[in-house]
Every structure is written in structure tokens, then in C-alpha cells.
Amino acid sequence: MDVKLERINKSFGQVQVLKDIDLVFPSRKFITLLGPSGCGKTTLLRMIAGLEPVTAGTIRFGDRVVNELAPRDRNIAMVFQSYALYPQMTVRRNLGYGLRVRKTPKAEMDAAVGRVAAILEISHLLDRKPAHLSGGQRQRVALGRAMVRQPDIFLMDEPLSNLDAKLRVTMRAELRRFHLDLGATTIYVTHDQLEAMTMSDMIAVMHGGIVQQFGTPAEVYGMPANLFVAGFIGSPPMNLIPGKFRGGEKATFVSPDFSLDLPDASRQVVDGQEVVLGARPQDIALVPGDTASATGRGQVWVVELIGSEKLVEVTLGDRRRITAQVRAETAVNVDDAVGIQLDPRRVHLFDAATGLALRR
Amino acid sequence: MTRNQFWTLTRRLVSYAVLSAVTFVVCFPLVWALSTSLKPKSEIFAMPPTLIPKTATTENYKALITGRPQYFQSGGQQVTSGTTPAQFFTRWFFNSVIVTLGSTLITITVSTLAAYSLTRFRYWGRTVVPYFSLLGYMVPSIIFVFPLFLVMVQLNLTDSLLSLVLGYVCITLPFCMWLMWAFMRSIPIEIEEAALIDGASRLQVFRQVVLPTALPGIIAAAIFSMIVSWNDYLFGRVFLNSLDNLTLTVGVMLFFEGTHVDWGLLMAASVLMTVPMAILFMALQRHLVAGFGAGAVKG
């Protein structure tokens, strides 16, 4: 079932936390609301769940307006960050609670609980209480409780953030797999861009109560709509270098440290405009310091080995540092004089005043 | 034996010695009361005193439970008719039970609902009420007794068990509400939201999710309320006067009246008074620790 958000606003007293959210989440897709804490993503999810009243705007499930519907009447399921299992009930009763309050016949309920427990491999835990489960097991029970009713829409509020790093990777893949098997629309909230990138069909990047960009993972990574998205998506983050655009016969980006010819620059930019150049660390090549074709020059400040790759921080002329990610074999040492080389086709250009991307 | 082991052993011995001494001091009056209650008249003042009665008798208990007049005058002559405290013992016991259960029921119902409202709904004053409710405990209860008595006079409730129930609610409710408030605060709102999404109504959420989770707190509050009501002397002494309406604590004092005190009977009454609370305590102490613990840490 698709979810339509039309001009959604939310205020707590004088504080406006969501501003004119307009989104359409297509049916059966895995959609992630991604953003730093305080960006309003959890509030938006809670409004979709019916746990938080809508200040203004319309939420539709399919064609049905659900603004005034109680959570129980929305046929949704939610997985909470804290799991929110019922502490005094066994796993079996936790899983079955949603069916029990809806007066499902006992046999049908037992079958549903058994099926979900088998899928999640928690059949041996059915008679335990939540206090006697590990974090990963609780996570599965919380997930099972959501799956057992076969809802139209799954809502997940940072469900992996309380797990250790290794388990998080495993559960990430499993969640993705469950989503494909169940075929329900999933709306997932996280501040972890890696989770968003790996699991989602669509990502809504949020900041300051506003949707900054809504697109596929490839789009938000490859074509960030503004400086916020550019800086937020990608690890290590994109290098952002302020400078000026020189138009004329040969379009050029000029900063105190270097200049870069931009043969296919956007027609939106004008001569002398203040711009910000964005370059991902993976798109920066290091060359010997005396290479004539180098875009800019600097001195290696620190080198970090991260396995098959190295992160090299280079101090440019005006003490600005940029990060380059290179193969681990690259011979580069602290205090080496190096040149950096940028591919004009792989850099991003943003308007310094508005922060918006200047597309080609 | 290494130095370390020596110190460990010494420390252990010292702590056992101290704990034994404390246990002895606390338990001795109870043991002595039990012992005296089982002794026949002739043995109670025997010298040297005996801790374990030479010839145990259950006469005192029988007298209390059956209400048989068994009252000795100073000459040692047995009186078999007339009004004696022993006759009223079962009545007083029953009164105490009624008053204790009544006040506890009211206190628990009101404090649980109040605490839920204070932690879950937004309205003016909800943050200060719990703290002010503790203020009453900084004043000795003798201060409240006479104003409350005057209120009871106004309400025409003096010398009734209901007056006592209301009096006890007045003194137990604020603390129980604070305790439940601290406890309710520690129950994450998410489990209620999860239940709402699962399909429960507000009332179902409260009954099926909140109450079972708050049970340790409820038990702690109930025990507190029961102990206060059961053990109170002051309110009973001021509010009640007819023999039929007395509670145990006030009634048992009547055993001291007259020229002769029947110690065996008095001690048997004391033991019977202690038993219900002791049983309650032993059965529920596990929950009590959990309840007060949660209140203390989170509050």
C-alpha cells in the first residue's frame, strides 16, 4: 500500500519540527527516512503510525485519509528502537498479543506465532520472558511481533541501533530479505547512512524538519541535491572547497589553492559566482608533488590505513585539509609533498549562497 | 594461611558476630512474647525464667479465639462472666482486617490511577504534585489527627470504621502516589504505544500492559499501606470509643486495665497480631525490594 504525505506540518508548542513535507512512498518499497538526530524523522514516522497528531496536512494510505484513525485501525506494525516488548509476557504471548486483542481464534493464532517463530529462528525461545533474551533475540521478537499480523505497512524506528556492530550487519541483510519476502511497504528511520544505502529502495534525507532530497540510494549519493546531502551521505564525507567560478571561454573553478577547468559546467552558473566544489575522497588521486598536471599541491598531514585502502589527509596551501582515499599500496608518508588530481567529470558544484547543487 | 585469607576470615567473623547480635536484639521480644503466650500462669513469673516453657499450653490462644471469659482477678479467682477484653478479640481482629483492607484498596486504586495520569498526561502542576505529596511526611502525624478528627465530627463519622479507613487513606495516599509515580515513570511509553499499534484500546493497554508491569510497585505500595493501617494506634485511639468498634492495637491496650495484667493473654494477642503482617511480609518481600528499588533509582 502506498503512503502519501501531503504538506505535513508538525509543531510542538512554538517549535515547528516538520515543514511542508510532501512525499509519496510507493507500494511495497523499502523507504528510509535518513537524517541526524533532531531532524524530525522519528516524529514523521510516529505521525504515520498515529501516535502523534498531525498539526496540518494529510496522510493517505492508498486513497484513504488516515489523519484521524487510531493506530489500531491503520493495519500497521511498528518496531521500536527499544524493542518495547511486554516485559511480563513470554515471547509466545508477546508475538501473539496483536492477534489476541483482535480476538483471533486460538488455533489460527498458534499457527501464526509458530510460523513467524520458525522464520526468525526463535522457536526455542517461545516460553522465555524478554528479560532472559539477548539483544539480538529481543530484536527478532520485536520483528516477529510486527510480522505476525501481516500488516500493510511496516514502520521501523532505528531498530538496529542497540545491536553490536557485527549483529547489525547480519540483521541488515535479514531485514532486507524479510522485506522482499513479505512485500509490505516498509518505512525505516535511521541516522546511519550505511543502513540507508544498503537496505533502501528510496531514501528521504531530512534535516531541520525539511526533506532535503528524496531519491534512490544511487541518486542521493551520485547527485546530492544540496550541500547538506553532499556532506551527510558518503564515508568519509565529501570534501567541500569554497571558491569562485570563472566563466568565459574556459569555465574554471578557482580557489586560493588550486584551479580546475570545468569543461561541461552547468549553465546555471555565472562568472564570478561564489561556489563550493565537492569532491569525494574516492575521486581524488594523489600524484608526486612535482607533477605538472596536478590540480593542486599540498603536504600529507596524516595517513590512516583502513584495510585495503588508505585515507590520506592533505594540507593545502591555505591550511585547508582535504581527504583522499587511495589504494593501500600507494607509497605515501606523513609530510610528503604531494599533488592532487581531480577529474572534472566527477566533481560536484554547489551555489555557496543557497547550498543548492548546480547541475550540469 | 596467607595474610589475605586471615583478613578475609576476620572480616567475615566480625560481620557474622555483629549480625547475630542485631538479629538477637530484634528477635528477642518476639521470641519472648511467643514463649510467654505458651506458658501456664504459674510459669510466667517463675525464677529463673525459662525461654522454652516446661509445660506448654494453648489456653491463652483458645481463650482469645473462642472469646471465652477468662479473666483472673488479683486474688487469683477466675471470673466466668462479665465483659473482658478477650471476648472482643476476634471482633477487633476483624475490625483491623476491614480497616486495613479498606484503606489499602482505596489508596492503591487512587494512587495507581493518579500516578498513571501524572506520568502520561500533560496538564498544569503535574510535575510538582509528586514532590508536594511528600511534604506531609515531614510533619508528625499527631498534627493531622485532631484536624481530621474534627472533619470526622462534621461528617458524623466518629466512632466508625469508615472514619479510620478515610484517616489512613489520608496518611498513606501521598506516599503511595509518589511511589507509584516513580514506578510508572520507569515504564517506557513505547510498550504502551506498541500495544496501541497491536490493536489494544486505551483501557486494554492499561489493564493488560501497564498494570502487570507496575505490579511490583503496586505490591510495595500495598504493603506500606497495610503496615501503616494495621500498626496504627494514634488514629484508632482518637477516632474510636465503643468497645465493638476498636481495632486490635487500641483494644489490646485494654488488657492492661484493672489491677491485674494477664500477661499470657496479652502476649498471645500480640503474637496473633504479628502473624498476618509477618506472613504478608515473607510472601511478598521479594516484590517489596523490587518496588522500592525501582522507586529509589528512578525517582
How is the beta sheet containing A15-25 ordered, strand by strand?
A: A15-25, A3-12, A56-61, A64-65
Contacts A101 to B, Cβ<8 Å: 195, 198-200, 204, 208
Asked whether the beta carbons of residue B191 and residue A85 sit closer than 8 angstroms, the reply is yes
Asked whether the beta carbons of residue A71 and residue B193 sit closer than 8 angstroms, the reply is yes
Asked whether the beta carbons of residue B213 and residue A76 sit closer than 8 angstroms, the reply is no
Contacts B188 to A, Cβ<8 Å: 82, 84
pLDDT for the residue B69: 58
Cell of A231: 556532506
Instruction: Indicate if the pLDDT at residue B283 is higher than 70.
Output: yes
Secondary structure of B132-173 in HEC code, one letter for each residue = HHHHHHHCCCHHHHHHHHHHHHHCCCCCCHHHHHHHHHHHHH
Mean pLDDT for B51-73 is 75
B59 backbone dihedrals φ, ψ, rounded to 5°: -50, -45
Beta bridge partners of A297: A339
How high is the ipTM of this complex? 0.83
Answer with the residue of higher pLDDT: B82 or B98.
B98
Mutate to test the interface with B, among A52, A72, A83 (most CBs of B within 10 A): A72
Size of interface A-B (CB pairs under 8 A): 65
> Residue B158 in contact with residue B149, Cβ under 8 Å?
yes
Omega before B40 within 30 of 0, i.e. cis: no
For B194, name the nearest residue in chain A, comparing CA atoms only: A84
For B200, name the nearest residue in chain A, comparing CA atoms only: A101
For A98, name the nearest residue in chain B, comparing CA atoms only: B198
Asked whether the beta carbons of residue A72 and residue B212 sit closer than 8 angstroms, the reply is no
For B191, name the nearest residue in chain A, comparing CA atoms only: A84
- Tell me the H-state helices in chain B: 3-37, 41-44, 59-66, 85-120, 129-135, 142-154, 161-185, 189-198, 202-204, 211-231, 234-239, 248-253, 263-298
Asked whether the beta carbons of residue A145 and residue B195 sit closer than 8 angstroms, the reply is no
Alpha carbon of A227: minimum distance to chain B alpha carbons (Å): 35
Cell of A114: 509458530
Asked whether the beta carbons of residue A82 and residue B190 sit closer than 8 angstroms, the reply is yes
Which own/partner contact pairs does B277-286 have at CB distance under 8 Å and 24+ positions apart? Answer: B277/B226, B277/B227, B277/B230, B277/B231, B280/B223, B280/B226, B281/B223, B284/B219, B284/B223
Mutate to test the interface with A, among B198, B203, B219 (most CBs of A within 10 A): B198
Angstrom distance (rounded) from CA A34 to CA A17: 15
Question: Among A82, A88, A98, whose Cβ lies nearest the Cβ of B212?
Answer: A88
Q: How confident is the model at residue B291 (pLDDT cuts 50, 70, 90)?
A: low
Question: Among B188, B197, B213, whose Cβ lies nearest the Cβ of A78?
Answer: B197
Interface of B with A (CB under 8 A): 188, 190-191, 193-201, 204, 208-209, 212-213, 215
> Residue A338 in contact with residue A310, Cβ under 8 Å?
no
Sequence-ordered list of residues with C-beta below 8 angstroms from that of B141, at least 6 positions apart, any chain: B171, B234, B235
Cell of A335: 609530510
Contacts A77 to B, Cβ<8 Å: 197-198
Mean pLDDT for B183-191 is 89
pLDDT tens-place string over residues B33-44? 999 989 887 788
Question: Among B191, B197, B213, whose Cβ lies nearest the Cβ of A72?
Answer: B197
Angstrom distance (rounded) from CA A179 to CA A153: 11
Cell of A232: 551527510
Cell of B139: 510533619
In the block, residue with C-alpha cell 502542576: B125
> Residue A35 in contact with residue A61, Cβ under 8 Å?
no
Asked whether the beta carbons of residue B197 and residue A86 sit closer than 8 angstroms, the reply is no
Asked whether the beta carbons of residue A86 and residue B204 sit closer than 8 angstroms, the reply is no
Beta bridge partners of A321: A315
Whole-number Cα distances in Å, B282 to B249, B286, B289: 22, 8, 12
Instruction: Indicate if the pLDDT at residue B228 is higher than 50.
Output: yes
CA neighbours closer than 13 Å in the CB half-sphere of residue B14: 6
pLDDT for the residue B79: 53
Q: What is the DSSP letter of A226?
A: B
Chain B neighbours among A 123-182 (CB < 8 Å)? Answer: 145, 149
Asked whether the beta carbons of residue A78 and residue B213 sit closer than 8 angstroms, the reply is no
For A143, name the nearest residue in chain B, comparing CA atoms only: B194
Asked whether the beta carbons of residue B196 and residue A97 sit closer than 8 angstroms, the reply is no
Question: Crossing angle for the helix pair B263-298 and B59-66, nearest 10 degrees?
Answer: 80
pLDDT for the residue B134: 80
Q: Residue A42 is inside which H or E element, if any? A: helix A41-49
Cell of A28: 511495497
Angle, alpha carbons B224-B227-B229 (nearest 5°): 105
Asked whether the beta carbons of residue A86 and residue B188 sit closer than 8 angstroms, the reply is no
Return the minimum-mean-pLDDT range out of A92-106, A345-359, B78-92, B172-186. Answer: B78-92
Angstrom distance (rounded) from CA B13 to CA B19: 10
Question: Among B196, B212, B213, whose Cβ lies nearest the Cβ of A71?
Answer: B196
Residues of B58-78 as b/e, b for ≥16 C-beta within 10 angstroms? ebbbebbeeeeebbbeeeeee
Question: Among B191, B204, B212, whose Cβ lies nearest the Cβ of A101?
Answer: B204
Alpha carbon of A272: minimum distance to chain B alpha carbons (Å): 54
For residue A147, the one-letter residue type is M
Mutate to test the interface with B, among A46, A101, A154 (most CBs of B within 10 A): A101
Instruction: Indicate if the pLDDT at residue B128 is higher than 90.
Output: no
Asked whether the beta carbons of residue A88 and residue B188 sit closer than 8 angstroms, the reply is no
Angstrom distance (rounded) from CA A102 to CA A240: 54
Question: Among B191, B195, B197, whose Cβ lies nearest the Cβ of A49?
Answer: B197
Question: Among B197, B209, B215, whose Cβ lies nearest the Cβ of A86?
Answer: B209
Cell of B166: 478515610
Residue A308's SS3 state is coil
Mean pLDDT for B216-230 is 90
Mean pLDDT for B52-66 is 83
pLDDT for the residue B288: 67
Displacement of CA B241 from its chain's centroid (Å): 22
Alpha carbon of B245: minimum distance to chain A alpha carbons (Å): 42
pLDDT tens-place string over residues B100-111? 999 999 999 999
In the block, residue with C-alpha cell 495516599: B173
Angstrom distance (rounded) from CA B214 to CA B285: 16
Asked whether the beta carbons of residue A70 and residue B196 sit closer than 8 angstroms, the reply is yes
Q: Tell me, yes or no, if the pTM score tops 0.90.
A: no
Angstrom distance (rounded) from CA A34 to CA A186: 14
Return the minimum-mean-pLDDT range out of A232-246, A286-300, B61-75, B130-144. Answer: B61-75
Whole-number average pLDDT of chain B: 85
Tell which residue, B147, B146, B217, B222, has the closest CA to residue B186.
B217
pLDDT for the residue A207: 95
Alpha carbon of B291: minimum distance to chain A alpha carbons (Å): 15
Question: Among B193, B201, B213, whose Cβ lies nearest the Cβ of A87?
Answer: B213
Tell which residue, B272, B227, B243, has the closest CA to residue B93.
B272
Omega before B174 within 30 of 0, i.e. cis: no
Tell which residue, A90, A139, A147, A78, has the closest CA to residue A116.
A147
Tell which residue, B225, B230, B247, has the closest CA to residue B238.
B247
CA neighbours closer than 13 Å in the CB half-sphere of residue B36: 20
Cell of A92: 509466545
Mutate to test the interface with B, among A42, A51, A79 (most CBs of B within 10 A): A51
> Residue A300 in contact with residue A335, Cβ under 8 Å?
yes
Instruction: Indicate if the pLDDT at residue B238 is higher than 60.
Output: yes
Tell which residue, A310, A357, A353, A318, has the closest CA to residue A334.
A310
Angstrom distance (rounded) from CA A270 to CA A138: 57
Tens of pLDDT along chain A (360 residues)?
899 999 999 999 899 999 999 999 999 999 999 999 989 999 999 999 999 999 999 999 999 999 999 999 999 999 999 889 998 899 999 999 999 999 999 999 999 999 999 988 899 999 999 989 988 899 889 999 998 988 999 999 999 888 888 888 888 988 898 899 888 999 999 999 999 999 999 999 999 999 999 999 999 999 999 999 999 999 899 999 999 998 877 888 888 878 888 877 777 788 888 999 999 999 999 998 888 888 888 999 999 999 999 999 999 877 889 999 999 998 899 999 999 999 888 899 999 999 999 876
> Residue B76 in contact with residue B45, Cβ under 8 Å?
no
